[in-house]
Amino acid sequence: MINQRRLEGVRDITSAAGVGWIATEPTCNAVSLFDHDLQLRRRLRVPLHGPRINAAATDRFVVAGDDNGMAAVDHTGKIIWQSAWDRFADNATNRDTTLHIDAQGVLWIRLADAQQLLALDATSGREIHRVPLAGPEAARFLHRPGDARTGLVLSRPYPSPSALISLVDGRIALHPLDGFDLDGFNPAGSHYLTEDLEGFLSVRDLATESVLAWRHINDLPELPSDLAGSRFTDWATFLTDELILISLRPEDSPDDAGQHLLLSARSLRCRSVVRYPNDLSPGSITASERPGRWLTHHHKTGTLRLWQLGDHLDDGPFPGQLSLL
């Protein structure tokens, strides 16, 4: 474990491209910005009052949104720009509207009512372009390393094709991806990971979209017997180009009875059960841009923990389980 933070009232924590992580605290209208080592860099009040706040960040400012609209504030808390949702012909009332700022400073927004994908200039709030985007209301944006493109998945309960999105000459370009729910990209940016409602996990080549490995989670080679009949409890994530982290929980088990497994990215073979020190429950997984790292969030205690795998780990066999001390 590299670092640990206690932050009560956290509703959500997401990766902020090129920055680290951003956590939202709707009960006190605040957001906290962490770097890649989980050091707290900023804690800012935002001029929002809704029960649900989503946020995205750059190294210079934060954009946050609630049911009524959006606001961008700099790292002193000064408002840069502010807008109601009706400016964009959308009504976000009682909905979660996901925000994402990519490495080029483009603010991506899924407008659920209008069923559109919107691209704004994050520094000014100026609209750049929008395109129709039919499908489920909820959306996730995923940073792809070393590229101007961003992963987009329209989330469950209705399976939808995922896509790579980018701006080309000031217009939104969407490139659909084979597979259903996109979980993320490997650190090299060459492969992507998908899962679906039926419990299948796949690794695919981004250039060709060919399937490199494909398995049902209950048919993973060397799956521990006590995890037979399990289901996903969180998004899977690449830890390195060779290793994948997943969270499984047997059916009819308590919510805190899940386990984290390391899988081979080549074959989806179970490499190890991750045993956390001091019998810590695994918590939910948040991906990191740094290879070999991941964040766990324990919602009951508001505890964030940052973990790091050893550099010596690759896809070669090793016996037993891996203890993280």
Q: How many residues does the chain have?
A: 325
Task: Provide the whole-model pTM.
Answer: 0.89
137 band by pLDDT with thresholds 50, 70 and 90:
confident
pLDDT digits (tens, 9 = 90+) for 155-207: 655 556 789 999 999 999 999 998 878 999 999 999 999 988 788 999 999 99
236 band by pLDDT with thresholds 50, 70 and 90:
very high
Q: Which two tokens stand for residue 234?
A: 């969180």
Q: CA–CA separation, 268 vs 249, rounded Å?
A: 17
Cis peptide before 157 (omega within 30 of 0): yes
Three-state SS for 90-143 is CCCCCCCCCEEECCCCEEEEEECCCCEEEEEECCCCCEEEEEECCCCCCEEEEE
**What pLDDT, on the 0 to 100 scale, is given for residue 317?**
47
Let me know if 265 is exposed, middle or buried by CB neighbors in 10 A (0-12, 13-18, 19+).
buried
**What pLDDT, on the 0 to 100 scale, is given for residue 312?**
55
In 3D space, the residue among 119, 150, 163, 116 whose CA is nearest the CA of residue 135 turns out to be 116
pLDDT digits (tens, 9 = 90+) for 47-65: 888 778 889 999 889 999 9
Residue 171's SS3 state is: strand
**What pLDDT, on the 0 to 100 scale, is given for residue 212?**
96
pLDDT digits (tens, 9 = 90+) for 63-118: 999 888 899 999 898 999 999 988 887 665 546 688 999 988 999 998 887 888 99
pLDDT digits (tens, 9 = 90+) for 256-293: 667 899 999 999 999 988 888 876 778 889 989 899 99
Give me the residue label for tokens 């037993």. Answer: 320
Give me the residue label for tokens 């101007």. Answer: 148
Residue 217's SS3 state is: helix
